[in-house]
Amino acid sequence: MKQNTMPRQDDGTAGTATASKSSEFELSDRDFAFIKQFIARQAGIELSEAKRNLVYGRLVRRLRILQLPSFSAYCSRLEAGDEEELEHCVNALTTNLTSFFRESHHFEFLQRELLPRLIREKREPTLRVWSAGCSTGEEPYSIAMVLAENLPEHWDVRVLATDLDSSVVATGAAGQYTLDRITGITDARRKHWFLRGKGANEGQVRVRDELRDMITFRRLNLLEPWPMRSSFDFIFCRNVVIYFSKDTQRVLFDRFAEQLHPQGHLFIGHSETLYKVSDRFNLLGNTIYQRVR
């Protein structure tokens, strides 16, 4: 799931801190069980015992900021329904690794096969796309570049970009990145789609308004009701469901099928599969699926 100006990385705390009594705080079995249940209920994410140190490292920062004496006190705060802290907790525990044109075969398929077919076959010159789990925005901007470069100018194109983490949604909407984030983009695209920062913004780039205007960024929990009324031509939901149980995946992919046009396409991550999860899609190859019912 992805969602920070840069993809969130642990500062070393998560890798070295432990939940033992020798740590700054103790993360008891009871507190860890509560947090596991909380994030499963709020975001559908299943945490194993192997993630205990990661949970400690991510949340101990919140204890320090809030000046709380223990994880037990923090859990009590969540249980009491502190809405602001609920959001901070979810943001802290969701992972946001992403990059421009990640899993490039998906974008090659868009350019070479799917978009030419849609141009030929669609009755109306409109295209609706959803980037579900958009993280800090690199995925929807990559999609938008391909669309802008390959669709006729008169087409009405809109990309919806959603994520559970409000902080990364804000980063995506801002469209501002450090130079090292765009090293994987061709020189031609860097020159055409990005503006170089000067002065206080030296070392940063900003996505041109032409792309930013194509995309609507919104916070959305995939486990909750979806407000979208229109259907999509294709959906990207990559490296999101690996954190969900099989039962949650079945429900989610059924909802994706309902949200797609008949024969619409679904793109998932390289380590994900719909095998024994959904029979509503046909695998075209390279984690690209097409709705069949």
Query: Does 163 qualify as catalytic in the annotation?
Result: yes
In the annotation, is 293 catalytic? no
Residue with tokens 């097409």: 290
Q: Which residues pair with 206 in a beta bridge?
A: 176, 195
End-to-end CA distance of the chain: 27
Handedness of CA 72, 75, 77, 80 (dihedral sign): negative
- C-alpha 205/C-alpha 177 separation (Å) is 5
Distance CA 239, CA 270 (A): 8
Candidate list 58, 62, 102, 212, residue with the active-site label: 58
The residues that bridge with 127 in the sheet, in sequence order, are 157
**216 neighbors 160 (Cβ within 8 angstroms):** yes
Q: Please write down the HEC assignment for all residues of 112-148.
A: HHHHHHHHHHCCCCEEEEEEECCCCCHHHHHHHHHHH
31, 163, 165, 233: which is the annotated catalytic residue?
Answer: 163
Instruction: Give Cα separations from 84 to 78, 87, 276 (angstroms).
Output: 9, 5, 38
Asked if 73 contacts 62 with a C-beta cutoff of 8 angstroms, the reply is no
> How far is 25 from 27, CA to CA, in rounded Å?
6
List, by residue number, the catalytic residues: 58, 163
